[in-house]
Amino acid sequence: MPVLCSRCAERRAMLKRPKTGHSLCKECFFWAFEEEVHQTIRWGPASGGKDSTVLAHVMKLLNERYSYGLELMLLSVDEGITGYRDDSLETVKRNQQQYELPLKVVSYEELYGWTMDAIVKQVGLKNNCTFCGVFRRQALDRGAIMLKVDKICTGHNADDVAETVLMNILRGDIARLRRCTAISTASEGEGVVPRCKPLKYAYEKEIVLYAYFKRLDYFSTECIYSPNAYRGYARNFLKDLESIRPSVIIDIIHSGENLSVREGVKMPVQGTCSRCGYISSQALCKSCVLLEGLNRGLPKLGIGKHHRLHNKILAQQPFTEKEESKLKPVEF
Amino acid sequence: MCQVDEDYHGDLERAEVPNVSKKCVKCKEASAAVVIRAGDAYCRGCFKEYFIHKFRAMLGKNRIIFPGEKVLLAVSGGPSSCSMLSQVQKGLSRNAHKKLRFIPGIVYIDEGGALGQSVEERMKLGAELQAMFKATGFPFYIVPLEQVLDLPSSVVVMAPSSSEQPGSAYKSAVNAFIQSDSSTCLTPQDQEDTSLPEVQESHTRSLQHLIASVKTLTARQDLLNTLRQHLFVHTARTEGYSKLMLGDSCTRLAIKLLTSISLGRGAQLAQDTGFSDSRYGDIISVRPMRDYSAKEISYYNHMFSVPSVFIPSLDTKTTDKSSIQRLTETFVTKLQGDFPSTVSTIYRTSEKLQTACRSSSTANHCERCLLCMCALDTAVENASAFHATLISEQFSQTKVPGATRTQIPRQNPVTPVLTPTGQHCSSDGEENCGRKEGGGGCCYSAKQPQTTNLKTLLCYGCQMTIKDMSSVEYFPQYILSEAQRRRRRSQMKEEITEFLLDDDDDDDEGN
Ligand SMILES: [Zn+2]
Ligand SMILES: [Zn+2]
Ligand SMILES: [Zn+2]
Ligand SMILES: [Zn+2]
Ligand SMILES: [Zn+2]
């Protein structure tokens, strides 16, 4: 006997919701998924986007359904990874036509003069994700400023947020820990466009289900270069936890939302980078330091904590031999 | 020298192979016998000194235990709490260098009933522990877990704290203590030759019903943890202790922190993992072992022959993925093997956190979870993930008018207490649930609403635990009675709400 949809009690259920365990028909699932995103973004989104088809699809649909009055645009970052990006850029271009939304592609190469392929060549596979993470964040901001948008919506889902909570605990990053569960960040300063994560409470599996039944292109934006150790550990741990208790993803986010930091705990003071003007708690922002390291052939510069060297970089002074030897790439 | 204090450089560094045949970093003479962390190699003598010093320093720094105060040590039989016991013994001994000045007692909870151990097994373990405790000369209490069935409801009510005691009070207490004849109160009384407490078979069965009604090991362990806390607090109260000493090591706390995060208990992290925990008001828990890693403890216990007893627990002989607690333990242990600063990094995160419910002085005004006694973290403002889930549930079901809300629902007059035997409201005419007339059937036949009603009195984490229970029918009476009392209070409050001037919830209790 077919299972009936737990919502309409009329049609046959096609799937079991990973989030709640309810059996739903296709139509009711679409409806619930979309309405939940609507609930998440009630507090005012705008435009932009990570290369997530589902995000673009749902945002466009809700914008029409609820007359948000938003002017949506697609923003995509080309990291310069041969093979991997070509496919996804194709998809974004298809989306552009399908949804009739303007598209802006910013590339690492045009912004930084380095593709990820070139970076990996120099730094190897150990720390490459530090580069792609930092560069992507700034690339989105720069692209958003070029497009003159008020807000960036990213396709981060509940799994991503939970994973980030775990990761920040593992590395004791209390400032990030506090920030990562926020649905939208207020403007942190000049050069940073406020962000929101409309899919923050959507399970990755439900996003895939949605894309599957809607016949949308879906592919994970996973970098083909292996994720760094931390993320890898946090991700596998989360997957294992989820296999024991599926609600763990939301449970972790709930925990993250309720953490409160003791008074008197030092939090980094946000200032701006004296080279590029991007927000930074140091004299130079992370991306400028990483770039400096790449250009000087000292890729480890941005990886450890080498704040002492910031002044030297700003003054364009050479490093001592001892300093250099520490920052040289590891031989393979 | 007393803190876990390695430098942390952004990324974790891989474990390095320790340098063998090194000299002790402290005295620089004797050859090293233990390597606690990379670079820190100690000789036997210096290690002992370091270990002992750390314990006193932890208590000295926090100044929470007053001289002459009665302190109940929770000993599980495991290495960490046994090590704590031995440190207390050392610290109280006549020739101790910096003498500890409190009056200790020991509590051990025998959970054999929940694990399905035979009476003989339980007697055997009990006897082993009894021998160990007797040797200390401290008074001790071996409490079978079955006793939770007879707890009074006051256990889940926050007692007024015994007046804030500022630093100056500590000093004067020290002086008063030194002047008084301290030698008499420190002499441990001779424990009258107690035989192990007998447990009624029916009690064990009720306990097993309760455990069996919890469908997952994760929720079982969580519930057991709560019940254990209740028993500790109750024992402390009835025996006149005001502090409870727990033996959590830094490793254990790192695991606990990560577990709590996964169980949705983020709001309670500071209490669950901090040095002191005052959620019960009058009985304050302290964790003096929190600076020691499990490795340090096992070195010390081994080198200085500190006895411990292997006590099976719910997750003994289960696989890594049997529960969230178990998985987290394996995860942290493995990661610590690869990255030796894992535990201390997680642990230091815990030091930067505080409880969500503002400061402890105003904490009395929070609504508290019926089970774990933490401030409720389910209000809309700080629980958007929680509300997102409620919305998802609502959207996935046939629409119910005015569906799920987290406020305490206005419900029918008092739902009667559930009897574990399953005799429903037929027995007491007076206590009839009142639904029969409405044609809705007896309240007992509808167990779901009962669980739902209980939910509103629970924090997020405890709600997740209850969710994994087939029924709350087997809950000990004290919990169900307190649930009823709270519901009655909130009903009363609703009736008189328009006459109340202050919105603050001073509903509770004990005052
Ligand atoms: Zn349906
Ligand atoms: Zn990457
Ligand atoms: Zn910069
Ligand atoms: Zn030495
Ligand atoms: Zn609770």
Please, what are the domains in chain B? 64-158+183-363 (3.40.50.620), 402-499 (no CATH)
What tens digit of pLDDT does each residue of B238-254 get? 999 999 999 999 999 99
Q: Note whether A304 contacts B: Cβ–Cβ < 8 A.
A: yes
Cα B41 to averaged position of ligand 4 atoms, centre (Å)? 9
Output phi, psi for B286, to 5 deg.
Answer: -130, 155
Residue ranges, CATH 3.40.50.620, chain A: 15-155+197-228
Confidence at residue B440, expressed as pLDDT on a 0 to 100 scale: 38
Spatial CB neighbours of B502, under 8 Å, sequence gap ≥ 6:
none
Output phi, psi for A18, to 5 deg.
Answer: -60, -30
For residue A24, list chain B residues with Cβ-Cβ distance below 8 A.
396
- Whether the link from the prior residue into B69 is cis, omega within 30° of 0, is no
3-state secondary structure of A261: strand
Among the partner-chain residues A20, A241, A260, the one whose CB lies closest to the CB of B393 is A20
Helices (H), B149-193: 167-179, 182-186
Cross-chain Cβ contact B391/A36 below 8 Å: yes
Give the mean pLDDT of chain B.
79
In chain B, pLDDT over 90 holds for what percent of residues?
A: 49
Q: Interface pTM (ipTM) of the complex?
A: 0.82
Q: Are strands B103-110 and B276-277 parallel, antiparallel or unpaired?
A: unpaired
Q: What is the mean pLDDT of residues A106-121?
A: 89
Cα A125 to averaged position of ligand 2 atoms, centre (Å)? 9
First to last CA, chain A: 60
CB atoms inside a 10 Å sphere around CB B46: 21
Helices (H), B14-104: 44-62, 79-92
Cross-chain Cβ contact B354/A262 below 8 Å: yes
Spatial CB neighbours of A190, under 8 Å, sequence gap ≥ 6:
A272, A277, A279
Residue B65 structure tokens: 């235990």
User: Mutation test of the interface with chain A: which of B259, B275, B376, B389, choosing the one with the most A Cβ atoms within 10 A?
Assistant: B389
Q: What is the mean pLDDT of residues B87-114?
A: 90
A163 to chain B: closest CA residue: B262
Q: Note whether A3 contacts B: Cβ–Cβ < 8 A.
A: no
Higher pLDDT among residues A168 and A93, named by residue: A168
Nearest-CA distance B407 → chain A (Å)? 18
Confidence at residue B174, expressed as pLDDT on a 0 to 100 scale: 63
Say which residue the tokens 């001037």 belong to.
Answer: B501
Q: Rounded distance, CA B248 to CA B242, Å? A: 19
Higher pLDDT among residues B459 and B383, named by residue: B459
Spatial CB neighbours of B347, under 8 Å, sequence gap ≥ 6:
B4, B250, B253, B254, B257, B273, B290
For residue A166, list chain B residues with Cβ-Cβ distance below 8 A.
258, 261
Q: Are A292 and A284 in contact (CB under 8 A)?
A: yes
Q: Are B226 and B234 in contact (CB under 8 A)?
A: no
Q: Note whether B355 contacts A: Cβ–Cβ < 8 A.
A: yes
Confidence at residue A177, expressed as pLDDT on a 0 to 100 scale: 82
Q: Are B80 and B292 in contact (CB under 8 A)?
A: yes
Q: What is the mean pLDDT of residues A72-96?
A: 79
Q: Rounded distance, CA B332 to CA A217, Å? A: 37
- Nearest Cα to Cα of residue A206 among A12, A37, A11: A37
User: Mutation test of the interface with chain B: which of A5, A209, A258, choosing the one with the most B Cβ atoms within 10 A?
Assistant: A258
Least-confidence region, from A2-16, A192-206, B243-257: A192-206
Q: Note whether B352 contacts A: Cβ–Cβ < 8 A.
A: yes
Cross-chain Cβ contact A20/B396 below 8 Å: yes
Q: pTM for the complete prediction?
A: 0.83
Among the partner-chain residues B260, B262, B396, the one whose CB lies closest to the CB of A6 is B396
pLDDT of B465 over the 50 cut: yes
pLDDT-derived band at B451, boundaries 50, 70, 90? low
Nearest-CA distance A311 → chain B (Å)? 20
Q: Rounded distance, CA B105 to CA A242, Å? A: 41
CB atoms inside a 10 Å sphere around CB B89: 19
- What is residue B93's DSSP assignment? S
What tens digit of pLDDT does each residue of B260-308 get? 999 999 989 988 998 999 999 899 999 999 999 999 999 999 999 999 9
CB atoms inside a 10 Å sphere around CB B38: 15
Nearest-CA distance A117 → chain B (Å)? 23
Confidence at residue B328, expressed as pLDDT on a 0 to 100 scale: 97
Q: Note whether A252 contacts B: Cβ–Cβ < 8 A.
A: yes
Confidence at residue A43, expressed as pLDDT on a 0 to 100 scale: 41
pLDDT of B194 over the 70 cut: no
Cross-chain Cβ contact A39/B388 below 8 Å: yes
Within B113-225, strands assigned E span 140-144
Q: Are strands B40-42 and B34-37 parallel, antiparallel or unpaired?
A: antiparallel
Nearest-CA distance A284 → chain B (Å)? 17
- Nearest Cα to Cα of residue B398 among A157, A70, A25: A25
- Which ligand has the shortest distance to the CA of B395? 1
Within 214-233 of B, beta carbons closer than 8 Å to A belong to: 216, 218
Q: Rounded distance, CA B34 to CA B104, Å? A: 31
pLDDT-derived band at B11, boundaries 50, 70, 90? very low
Q: What is the mean pLDDT of residues A140-163?
A: 86
Confidence at residue A219, expressed as pLDDT on a 0 to 100 scale: 62
CA-based angle B141:B143:B149, to the nearest 5?
145
pLDDT of A191 over the 70 cut: no
Q: What is the mean pLDDT of residues B28-45?
A: 85
pLDDT of B81 over the 50 cut: yes
A247 to chain B: closest CA residue: B464
pLDDT of A217 over the 90 cut: no
Among the partner-chain residues B323, B355, B397, the one whose CB lies closest to the CB of A22 is B397
Nearest-CA distance A190 → chain B (Å)? 26
In chain A, pLDDT over 70 holds for what percent of residues?
A: 86
Q: Note whether B261 contacts A: Cβ–Cβ < 8 A.
A: yes
Question: Domain A15-155+197-228 carries which CATH code?
Answer: 3.40.50.620
DSSP for B432-449 reads --S-TTTTS--GGG-HHH
Output phi, psi for A112, to 5 deg.
Answer: -115, -15
Nearest-CA distance B25 → chain A (Å)? 27
Q: Are A74 and A59 in contact (CB under 8 A)?
A: no
Within 442-471 of B, beta carbons closer than 8 Å to A belong to: 460-461, 464
Confidence at residue B183, expressed as pLDDT on a 0 to 100 scale: 43
Q: What is the mean pLDDT of residues B369-373?
A: 94
Would you call A86 exposed, middle or buried from its count of C-beta atoms within 10 A (0-12, 13-18, 19+)?
exposed
